[in-house]
Structure 1
Amino acid sequence: MNDVTSSGNPAATLQLLWREHLPPDSSPRRGPRRGLEFNTIVEAATSLADEHGLTALTMRRLAERLNIRPMSLYTYIPGRAELLDMILDDAYLKMPRPPFETAPWQVRVRAVAASNFDLYKRHSWAAHLSTLRPPLGPGQMAKYEYELSAFDGSGLGDLATDDALTFLLSFVRNAARDIHSARDTSRAGGTDQEWWDEAGPLLAHNVNDKSYPLASRVGSAAGAAHGSAHDPHHAYAFGLQQTIRALELLATDGPTGD
């Protein structure tokens, strides 16, 4: 299942996302009063995705969790596509946004990275939901506004700031995916150390310092340092440091990208 945001009906999606900001007489649906609040539906859908992943998030399973008939759920939400936008935008809306105050822009950018990393820790499904066409709800807009402000004082122009933010968030998201994958692999098939204990002796005959001198030397050093061929947590820390350095170099070039 290829899960992407903003793949439903645009008008219906935007009405649902901005429902609390609409005039009282502009409800997207009219008719008899319904028994559920939208927030109750969003919270139940989020819990279902948190517990079992996006593949488990279907209209039928959500209806079962809410103890209503599946067809009743469609009187609130047109379908699963709109539901995905709602739970992601709600997750964005609930992200903490403490004042940056006088911290240097590099410190603020690190805080943005940490905030998104924490989001993916709470809601691992969010890292696997394609947002090339983002949900343009209040959560997305508040998140974008806040994170752009982290670059105030960097000297970057508007387009370069947008590029820099996209670059940062893409890195964090990919790192989070790797960490989730490592966790799932460990649960399914044991630890990396257990895997290497079994595979290592079998590989030693063909993969050695004579046939692959660089790979053997560097790989052994990395494995000894991290206890694995790949440590996603170390990769995140190292990658974030290099990402900040790259953005500093970009900033020293002046207000580029406009």
Structure 2
Amino acid sequence: MSAAIEARDLGFSVEGTTLLSGVDLDLHHGELLAVVGPNGAGKSTLLGLLAGDLRPTTGTVRYAGRDAHAFAAAELARQRAVLLQEHRLSFPFTVIDVVRMGRAPWRGRPEESDDDWAVGEALDAADVRHLAVRRFPTLSGGEKARTSFARSRAQATPVLLLDEPTAALDIRHQEQVLDQARRTAADGTAVLAVLHDLSLAAAYADRVLLLGQGRVHGLGAPGDVLRADTLTALYQYPVDVFRHDRTGELVVLPDRSAATAFAPTEALR
């Protein structure tokens, strides 16, 4: 698999506080990379840097060998689509209008002829076709999240960056969105998803990047990175990792039986 994004010695600081430091990462075409870690680990900061929305304090981000900040805005929008955590619009656009916004980078180009197909496919992939004429502000949180996912998918870029795409979704739509992300990667797109559910990360990701306190604590196959001792220390809460008896899938759960006897400061030493 070739690298769609190359990040080297990536760091970001604000007002003397370091939010991310020393990150080396290649995001490959054809893979789904899950970024996990506790609150404040630097996950969204990393996504913003990879997207070119933030300028790194140290290091570089390159798309196919070219610095992300060398692209004009429209050109960068044809390189990557970004799904943010918050889904807000100031005007009452319909769902189909919001999804069509994802096609804006291709206006006036040959790819514009694919607009109708891309929008229709994205509506179906996100299960929002039945909401097509609804006004975006009238939707539930989960419906807004799925509409925003459809917009980013309709953009049809070589890189897809998703910040907590399952946060507002019920269990069916969590599985559906990540299955679609997995299928998108299988078609050759480089997909990165920031996730909080470690079991979902284990189930769908080719690789997992584990962040904590702005630093990389693991990068590799889910079974190699999502280890009970590492997660317990990083999350400062007892964590159990095991294989499902029937499916063999990796399951990550809080170990509540051990919580009362757990001392977070001891785990971090």
TM-score (norm 1): 0.26
User: Which structure's residues are more often helix, by fraction?
Assistant: 1
TM-score (norm 2): 0.25
User: Which structure's residues are more often strand, by fraction?
Assistant: 2
